A = this chain, B = another copy of it.
Amino acid sequence: MPTSEFSLIERYFAAQRFQRPDVALGIGDDCALLLPPAGQQLAATVDTLVAEVHFFAGADPEGIGHKALAVNLSDLAAMGATPAWATLALTLPQVDEDWLAAFCRGLFALADRHGVQLIGGDTTHGSTTVITIQAHGFVPPSQALRRDGARPGDDLYVTGTPGDAGLALAAAFGKAAIAAHHERYVRARLERPEPRLAPGLALRGVASAAIDVSDGLAQDLGHILERSRVGARLEVERLPLSPALATSLDREAAAVTALTGGDDYELCFTVPPERTVQLERSAAEWDCRCTRIGVITAEPGLRLTRADGSALHLDRWGYNHFG
């Protein structure tokens, strides 16, 4: 049988030590064979990272491996699902063993931490690096956090401090200056986002709607509003800004970055008033902030209000691939 760099790649991906008992057959056949748990819904999501669009081609490959999985786990978190399995479709211009080893280190470190097994993939040749991961998880029936359940009067929340990744990008393009002691934090927020899986699970039976913030808080909140056929009033001064963001930009520019920056992988969600006490008790145990930033309204559209009552208008709402 011929050996090739191709089989070398397969060996890298088949090297994960962590194995799940619900994987009957993993990497190495025409299909993986999986044993979904009885009585649960299967949640499936797919996300692609493209070199020079989603990451700099020269970026740390360990971070790229982390992020390629993290953005998918973030979708599972936003659905309230427990992660289980992932596949990897990887298109590469050439085989660079050091790159692959570091990529797998980043990927598997995050996968192991959240109990995710890589169960299959496809490796192809192409002129640009393109990474597509599909992640699967489980959620009990009627407990999934959908986008269409927000109701007027629900409180509006966000986890963490949105805008940090947007600040990192702005700095990379020379449009913002970050104090030296914030640089490492801000870069980690862009390159190593932490999927909010524990908050996602805690929101089962609590949140009425949820989404993960990948293209900008304003734009992604817009998807909740559209699918739920409601509007929202977001109080700009309530936006939880990190010290890095608050000190790198003026107040309004920082708020706009938090609203439109993208790449945050925080959760934006709504909670009916009768469950906000339960939420805030739960959130006290999370390893990230949880901040009420506004309220859902019957009137459609998103209104951004400053502390003085004036309206903030955005030139753009978030990231658009073909804008």
- Chain A residues with CB under 8 Å of chain B are 1-2, 4-6, 9, 24-25, 28-36, 38, 41-48, 50-54, 75-76, 78-79, 81, 85, 87-89, 91, 94-95, 119-128, 130, 132, 134, 136-137, 139, 141, 144-148, 210-212, 219, 222-223, 225-227, 301-302, 316-317, 320-323
Contact = CB atoms under 8 A, between A and B. Distances in A.
B30 A212 contact: yes
A31 B45 contact: yes
Contacts of A35: 41-42
15 contacts: A28-B227, A29-B79, A29-B146, A29-B147, A30-B210, A30-B212, A31-B144, A35-B42, A42-B42, A46-B132, A48-B89, A48-B91, A50-B124, A50-B125, A127-B127
A50 B91 contact: yes
Contact of A33 (B38, B95, B127, B144): B144
Contacts of A121: 46
A-B interface, 6 closest residue pairs, ranked by CB to CB distance from nearest:
A31-B43, A5-B322, A50-B126, A30-B78, A125-B321, A89-B132
A295 to B, nearest CB: 18
A132 B50 CA distance: 13
Nearest to A39: B38
Contact of A32 (B30, B45, B87, B316): B45
Number of copies: 2
A73 to B, nearest CB: 11
A225 B31 CA distance: 17
B41 A123 contact: no
Nearest to A221: B1
Nearest to A148: B29
A123 B211 CA distance: 18
B219 A2 contact: yes
B44 A87 contact: yes
Nearest to A41: B33
Contact of A130 (B91, B145, B320): B91
Contact of A31 (B52, B81, B88): B81
A76 B89 CA distance: 17
Contacts of A42: 33-36, 42
B48 A134 contact: no
A44 B6 contact: no
A225 B1 CA distance: 9
Nearest to A40: B36
A317 B2 CA distance: 7
Contacts of A225: 1
A48 B136 CA distance: 19
Nearest to A38: B38
A252 to B, nearest CB: 21
Nearest to A90: B48
B6 A322 contact: yes
A321 B123 contact: yes
Given A33-B79, A127-B128, 19 more contacts: A5-B320, A6-B323, A29-B148, A30-B79, A31-B78, A32-B43, A33-B41, A33-B42, A33-B139, A33-B144, A44-B85, A44-B136, A45-B120, A50-B124, A54-B124, A122-B132, A128-B130, A130-B132, A134-B134
